[in-house]
Chains A and B, each alone.
Chain A
Amino acid sequence: MSQTLVIGISDYAVSQKPNILVTYALGSCVGICLYDSKLQIGGLSHIMLPDSGQFSHQEINRMKFADTAIVDMVKEMRALGCDLRRITAKIAGGARMFQVQPGSQIGSIGDRNVDSVKQILSSLHIPILAEETRKNYGRTVYFDLGTGVMKVHSLNKKIAEV
């Protein structure tokens, strides 16, 4: 029986086939799908912010930040037997939801989230097989752990399967 697990904002989950992981309405947040195709184990993380560094003096939710969430999710997958050398990534989100004046801080967080996610994946030598990022619309991500396919749904009815 396939189960659908919903991942909220600042949250992640790791599971295995035939389950489906879903996270709704990514705006400038980024959804990161990690997958080990041999074991058919994967994780989906919904991060809000690029970097936990400036909040290190306080208690943080590690699932909120790209740097801590990805590292923790990889650790959890490895504990289930996944080999870091086999883990691949697909990412979605990081949009600019409001068309603000150039130079305004408001619009840039999506880009910074995507940049940070890519940098962290690259430092872990995890290849990005596909991405559906940036632009100006919200996205819902379905990640099928049986196939490793990431399905991205948006309100303008374009559905991308990668």
Chain B
Amino acid sequence: MLKNYEELSEMHIDVLREIGNIGAGNAATALATILDEKVEISLPVVKITDFDTAVRALGGAESMTVGVLVSFFGEANGMIMFLLKMEDAKKVMSILLRDYEEEDEDAEEISEMKLSAIREIGNILGSSYINSIATLTGLQINLTVPYIAIDMAGALMSVPIIEFGAVGDKIMFIEEVFSGSENNLRSNVIMFAQIDTLKLIMERLGLEI
């Protein structure tokens, strides 16, 4: 009986990795449409890892990070969080809003317009993953509106961990590099699914659990 992420077998992790790959592919397509430029995506690295390792990959617990959080519910329940280092977030904002006048590059405050642009990107990427799960499994999954925060990486990442604290201390951590014509962006997605949801996904895909 599967109780937490630690008990997933190599085969289960392969399935999650494949879901991650398909999700990342969808995300790259969506990004290319929005940014109006060719976007290539590296093969995402999908890991089941502990909190500290994931935080280190983001540059340490205190590094300034943009997080976009989407909850999913329905036949599958969990949270997905899209994380971008501040420097990468600024690149995304400048590409998205390149036709707008730039008021002050070094402004401490990030304008509502920029925040909303990043929130939308996070939303699209999050939805891409959930779509890949829904498509593969036929499960009915709904999404909440996206929430955004800019703060310490560790403080942001603790939010889904706390919500699903009973599932164990491991998380599914996906790292991918999006390459556009001029910029490379490294982004991370962490996904938390309720253990029942994980079981259901595996069952629907015909795997013993």
> How far, in whole Å, are A138 and B154 apart by their CA atoms in the complex?
8
Contact present for B165 and A48 (CB under 8 Å): yes
Which of A8, A24, A106, A138 sits near B151, CB closer than 8 Å? A138
Does the CB pair B154–A10 fall under 8 Å?
A: no
- Chain A residues near B71: list those with CB within 8 A: 106
Interface residue tally for chain A (C-beta within 8 Å): 31
Q: Closest A-chain residue to B3, C-beta based?
A: A58
A142 to B3, CA, bound (A): 36
Residues of A contacting B60 in the complex (Cβ-Cβ under 8 angstroms): 24
Instruction: Give complex CA distance A28, B162 in Å.
Output: 8
CB distance from A107 to the nearest CB of B (A): 9
A101 to B71, CA, bound (A): 12
B207 within 8 A of A: no
Known: A95-B155, A97-B151. A25 touches B162 (CB 8 A): no
B205 contacts A by Cβ under 8 Å:
no
**Nearest Cβ distance between residue A123 and chain B, in whole angstroms?**
23
Q: B166 within 8 Å of A by Cβ? A: yes
Q: Classify the interface of chain A: helix, strand, loop or mixed.
A: loop
C-alpha gap A64/B51 in the complex (Å): 13
Report yes or no: A25 in contact with B165, Cβ–Cβ below 8 A.
no
Q: Which of A10, A24, A55, A98 sits near B61, CB closer than 8 Å?
A: A24
Structural contact, A155 and B165, CB atoms closer than 8 A: no
Whether A97 pairs with B159 at a CB distance below 8 angstroms is yes
Interface bits B140-176 vs A (CB < 8 Å: 1, else 0): 0000010111011111111101110110010000000
Q: Does A64 lie within 8 Å of B151, measured CB to CB?
A: no
Q: Are A55 and B166 in contact (CB under 8 A)?
A: yes
* A124 CB within 8 Å of chain B: no
Q: Does chain B have a CB within 8 A of A130?
A: no
Q: Of residues 1 to 45 in A, which have CB atoms within 8 Å of B's CB atoms? A: 8-10, 24-29
Residue of B nearest to A27 (CB): B155
Nearest 9 pairs between A and B by C-beta? Answer: A138-B155, A25-B154, A27-B155, A24-B61, A138-B152, A25-B61, A98-B147, A25-B152, A27-B158
Report B's interface with A, CB cutoff 8 A: 3, 51-52, 55, 60-62, 64, 67, 69, 71, 145, 147-149, 151-159, 161-163, 165-166, 169
